[in-house]
Chain A
Amino acid sequence: MNIDITDVTRRFGRTRAVAGVTMSAGPGVLGLLGPNGAGKTSLLRMLATVIPPTSGRIRLLERDPGVAAQRRAIRRRLGYVPQHLGYYPSFTVVEFVEYFALLKEVPAAQVPRAVATAVERVGLGDKARARMRTLSGGMLRRAGIAQAIVNDPELLLLDEPTAGLDPEQRVAFRGLLRDLGQTATVVVSTHLVEDVGAACAQVALMDGGRIVFHGTPQELTARGEGRTAAGDAPLERGYSTVLAEARS
């Protein structure tokens, strides 16, 4: 399993953002759904080795991120796109992605090709020489995804990656997700239930810091059948049903 976490919690002062999550995932696309404040971003940041858990055990790519040498090995094979992407405005798209390729220790001889491939995969080939400050919100999201995949990661963590993408870009992005999920474990945090239905083989639903559902999108849909829960689509009704049950 590329992700294997047991009873993980994370506190920020008195707030318990993640409250005992146990989960495992192998290659494929896992959608992480949940309302605002459910703990999705905190869980992703722990999986990205940005913050350590307050308690519990995390193993990523068969390694322990709590051990410095193993954490370095994980990070070489990791891609991460946070909710709010930071960038240096004067970099071109290529420079932005190249900087991350070099930091992630992609062999120097392979960097130009790796950068070009990543930029093409996110559909920014025609903007490769454009400055980051000139890009639209959707293009910036795609540049962020390019830096995350430039090292061909085995574990890819995406926090709200489709925010700011137009419908056409979202459809293309789902295709990219499915493609990446062929070899890597991809965890996608999102509010958009339809993205999960279209691109994810597995879905985990978080609420109040806990995972209240883990299964396939079809299983989540089935939970809403015959119910009067809110939602315009079957998957949304399943989502609402599970949340209502978890809170009752």
Chain B
Amino acid sequence: MTRLVHLHLASRRVPAALAALAGCAIVLWAALHRHWDAYGALQLPLLFETACASVVAIATASPFGDPERVTGHRLPWLRMATAVTLTIAAAAVLAATGIGTDLAGGTTTAVRNLAGLTGLGLLCAALLGGALAWIAPVAYALLGVYALYTQWHGPALTSPCIWPGRPGDDLGGALCSGIVLCAGLVAIAIRGARDTPPPAG
């Protein structure tokens, strides 16, 4: 089983994904040491949370296509384990950026936003494929940036469904984010990322 997990993680380019997550965290950590106005300080972490979520979602792409889909029952568990492992890694590196810096909203907010964005990315991967999995997190992040902007220029967007605009200790936002993550994990485990259609001819 260990060998199978190793080969599966390699085929999903998980080492490269981990390096990308670490890169995101280092850049965010360095950026947080600079001086930002209120907008920038609030919105900057969301951009990096989006980048991390996109990395997790893109790593769901399978290079093997149909032959892999028609193998045994181990594949859904491998997909789930890969997504969970990368999400935990992303949460860990984002939490680490809060050490010695002023991460807006704190670690709780960062992890909540990451969870929901990752869920959106996984759903997008199941629907559109791994290569296009970044579309949903990026689109949602734009909405989130706007929600943060409306905290100064009302009327403020306060729906729990737009969790980046909610405080870190808000239960409604956390629930919405968690539900989306669970939906994404289930979708990616059962269906996997949609395969890119083969070239015509």
Q: Which residues of A contact B (CB under 8 A)?
A: 45, 48-50, 72, 75-76, 78, 80-91, 95, 98-100, 102-105, 108, 144, 147-148
Contacts and interface: CB of A to CB of B under 8 A. Distances in A.
13 contacts: A72-B72, A72-B73, A75-B70, A80-B70, A84-B65, A85-B65, A87-B63, A88-B11, A91-B11, A98-B3, A99-B8, A103-B74, A148-B67
Nearest to B195: A86
B11 A48 contact: no
B65 A49 contact: no
B4 A83 contact: no
B62 interface: yes
Contacts of A87: 63-64
Contacts of B199: 84
A80 B11 CA distance: 19
A82 B67 contact: yes
A88 B64 contact: yes
B74 A105 contact: yes
Nearest to A98: B7
Q: Which 8 A-B pairs have the closest CB atoms?
A: A84-B198, A103-B71, A86-B65, A102-B4, A88-B11, A99-B7, A105-B72, A86-B64
Interface in B152-201: 195, 198-199
Contacts of B68: 86, 100, 103
Contacts of B88: none
Size class of the B contact interface (CB-based, 8 Å): 20 to 34
B114 interface: no
B94 interface: no
Contact of A50 (B3, B64, B66, B72): B66
B69 interface: yes
B51 interface: no
- Pick the most buried of A45, A50, A76: most chain B CB atoms within 10 A of its CB: A50
B194 to A, nearest CB: 13
Given A84-B65, A84-B198, 17 more contacts: A45-B66, A48-B66, A50-B66, A50-B69, A80-B66, A81-B67, A83-B198, A85-B65, A85-B67, A86-B65, A88-B63, A98-B3, A99-B4, A99-B7, A102-B3, A103-B4, A105-B72
Interface of B: 1, 3-4, 7-8, 10-11, 62-75, 195, 198-199
A48 B65 CA distance: 13
Given A48-B66, A82-B67, A104 B10 contact: no
B80 to A, nearest CB: 15
Nearest to A51: B66
A242 B195 CA distance: 36
A142 to B, nearest CB: 14
Contacts of B66: 45, 48, 50, 80, 82
Contacts of B67: 80-82, 85-86, 100, 144, 147-148
A72 B69 CA distance: 11
Contacts of B74: 102-103, 105
Contacts of A75: 70-72
- Pick the most buried of A72, A81, A102, A105: most chain B CB atoms within 10 A of its CB: A102
B7 A95 contact: yes
Contacts of A91: 7, 10-11
Contacts of B62: 86
Contacts of A108: 1, 3
A78 B7 contact: no
A58 B71 CA distance: 19
